[in-house]
Amino acid sequence: MKATFKKYLLDFKNPSGTSRGILRTKETWFLFLEEEGKWGIGECGLFRGLSFDDVPEYEEKCTWVAHNINLGETELLMQCQDFPSIQFGVEQAFMSLRSKNPFHLFDSSFVSHQKPIAINGLVWMGDREFMHEQIEEKLKNGFSCIKMKIGAIDFDTEIALLKSIRERYSKEDIELRVDANGAFTPQEALFKLDVLSKLDLHSIEQPIKQGQTEEMKRLCNNTPLPIALDEELIGVVDVTKKAALLQTIQPQYIILKPSLVGGFAGSSEWISIAEKNNIGWWVTSALESNIGLNAIAQWTATLNNKMPQGLGTGSLFTNNIESPLEVDNGGLFYNKSKKWNTNLIESLCI
């Protein structure tokens, strides 16, 4: 078996604002496998500044995996426990290689019958006019669930914008989720959650920075607004520690990003623990290309979670890989009349 890694920079159509700054490009890595005339591909969705495995030796680990690919999937996953995005790429690549079609990793009605997955529309941070334009566009495109990034501009301005949305659309019309990306301090968080709760929001992701377990536990115990853990899950790889974290904090929801929590296997562990503790969950992509997004979507479709998922990021880039993935009327579809750009994929791995 031959293995090749290739770095690829995804370019945002519009610079995208988060509480960590402005994103203009997104680095990712493809793992390409060849064996007996067949090939498979997986995406290692490294997220600089957020991934647990954003370390100087990342490329060195990719090289090691390529040189040791014949150890097999199980051993490689064990050896990459501190590199969850590489684990995810390895999982995908081996599944892709084993499949009759390298892009069909899971059987579900998502692919076979083009059944859509309900998704939230993502609204990026910016000034009031820019955010309102995005919201109007999402509504025109049939989204009934919108996720807004907050925490990068003035809180009062964000509240005013959310109020203006609620004045026009009730919670029955639009489900609003907000993501603070850890922007609040523990001292101000409960006050801000109380203000936000008056706006009929569905939930807030990661109100304070991860790693403050006792503070997050206090917030989840007293919050007037459901809290979803996101970054809090990153870097927790031992299943016993996963269970301890959720049992201690007792959040209302957790959010699974396979690139950041060890692929399908790591995400499945979190889901199992969450369900045993009556904690809700949904799946979100982490700005992968369509290769990784396709894998996440196909896996998510097998889980039968009826909540809107966070899988609408494929159209953010100017140089994404053309694929059958298509967003329409608030859902992600696998449009079988559209083809993958296999020429680009093969050129990446030369």
- What pLDDT does 90 receive? 98
Q: What's residue 279's pLDDT?
A: 98
Query: Which positions are catalytic?
Result: 149, 257
* Domains of the chain as residue ranges with CATH: 2-103+343-348 (3.30.390.10), 109-339 (3.20.20.120)
Nearest-CA neighbor of 162 among 152, 147, 172, 144? 147
Tens-binned pLDDT, residue by residue, of the chain (350 aa): 999 999 999 999 877 655 556 778 999 999 999 999 999 999 999 988 888 899 999 999 999 999 999 999 999 999 999 999 999 999 999 999 999 999 999 999 999 999 999 999 988 766 777 877 888 888 888 999 999 888 877 899 889 888 888 888 889 888 999 999 899 999 999 999 999 999 999 999 999 999 999 999 999 999 999 999 999 999 999 999 999 999 999 999 999 999 999 999 999 999 999 999 999 999 999 999 999 999 999 999 999 999 999 998 778 899 999 999 999 999 999 999 999 988 878 777 65
- DSSP characters over 201-269: -SEEE-SB-TT-HHHHHHHHHH-SS-EEESGGGTT--SHHHHHHHHHHH--SEEEE-HHHHTHHHHHHH
